């Protein structure tokens, strides 16, 4: 009888362990999931919605919701020309590198949308790299130097995100990355 009790106990314990090991994780209900679109919007519908969306790969990262909210506030500040809000989303180094007058000049006609986070990669516990793409429309006179006269630009870049004073912030873009851009 004691042998039967030991065997049954081991089987039940093994079954519970196997159930936990092979359990499918719960879906992330708070993540806005999207896949890259293969169809382009007509120019009149650019830049597209201003909400930050995540691919399933980005949504699998444990910090995905914090990063999505950070980027949402970052792009909202640009779209509403709110320098004070923008300052809450970026590091002190980035604020020092971009004065209010320069920031307002740089983003005076910019409207960003179709924002999609492709990947979130950890560099360390306090540093992430976020691969994202978005569409930007602006006055042709405010086009990037690489695309003179472009009123609509599709961007792909890697944004460094770091913990500063206990909060995730968008850091200065270092020389390790070159943003890709193309006319819409």
Residue 10 lies in a domain: no
| Interval 49-95: pLDDT, tens | 999 999 999 999 999 999 999 999 999 999 999 999 999 999 999 99
In-domain check, residue 12: no
Residue 151 counted as domain residue: yes
Largest separation between any pair of C-alpha atoms in the chain: 87
Using a pLDDT cut of 90, give the percent of the chain over it. Answer: 69
Question: Does 8 score more than 70 pLDDT?
Answer: no
Say if 4 falls within a structural domain. Answer: no
Mean pLDDT lowest among 86-90, 140-144, 166-170? 140-144
Tell me the average pLDDT across 148-171. Answer: 95
- Omega before 47 within 30 of 0, i.e. cis: yes
**CATH number of the domain bearing residue 44:** 3.10.450.100
Q: pLDDT grade, residue 173 (50/70/90)?
A: confident
> How many domains, in total, are found in the chain?
1
Separation in Å, CA 120 to CA 12, 70, 79: 39, 13, 23
CA atoms within 13 A of residue 42's CA, in its CB half-sphere: 2
16 occurs within a structural domain: no
Once rounded to an integer, what is the mean pLDDT over residues 169-177? 81
Domain containing 123 equals: 32-183
- How many CB atoms within 10 Å of residue 125? 7
Q: Which residues pair with 167 in a beta bridge?
A: 164
- Residue 23: inside a domain, yes or no? no
Q: What are the tens digits of pLDDT across the range 18-50?
A: 555 555 444 444 555 655 554 567 777 889 999
* The pLDDT of residue 121: 96
**SS3 (DSSP) at 138:** coil
Backbone angles phi, psi at 149, to 5 degrees: 80, 0
Beta bridge partners of 154: 135, 182
Structural domain contains residue 155: yes
The 3-class secondary structure across 82-101, one letter per residue, is CHHHHHCCECHHHHHHCCHH
Asked if residue 169 has pLDDT above 70, the reply is: yes
Percentage with pLDDT > 70 across the chain: 77
Residue 164 lies in a domain: yes
């Amino acid at each position: 009888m004691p042998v039967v009790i030991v065997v049954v106990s081991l089987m039940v314990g093994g079954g519970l362990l196997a159930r936990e090991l092979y359990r499918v994780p719960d879906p992330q209900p708070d993540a806005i999931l999207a896949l890259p679109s293969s169809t382009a919007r007509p120019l009149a519908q650019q830049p597209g919605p201003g909400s930050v969306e995540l691919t399933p790969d980005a949504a699998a990262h444990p910090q995905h919701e914090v990063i999505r909210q950070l980027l949402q506030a970052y792009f909202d500040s640009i779209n509403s020309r709110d320098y004070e809000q923008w300052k809450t989303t970026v590091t002190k180094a980035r604020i020092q590198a971009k004065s209010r007058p320069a920031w307002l000049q740089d983003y005076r006609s910019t409207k960003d949308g179709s924002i999609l986070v492709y990947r979130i990669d950890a560099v360390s516990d306090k540093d992430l790299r976020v691969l994202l793409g978005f569409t930007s429309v602006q006055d042709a006179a405010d086009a990037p130097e690489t695309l003179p006269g472009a009123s609509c630009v599709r961007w792909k870049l890697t944004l460094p995100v770091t913990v500063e004073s206990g909060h995730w912030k968008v850091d200065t873009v270092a020389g390790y990355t070159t943003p890709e851009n193309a006319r819409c």
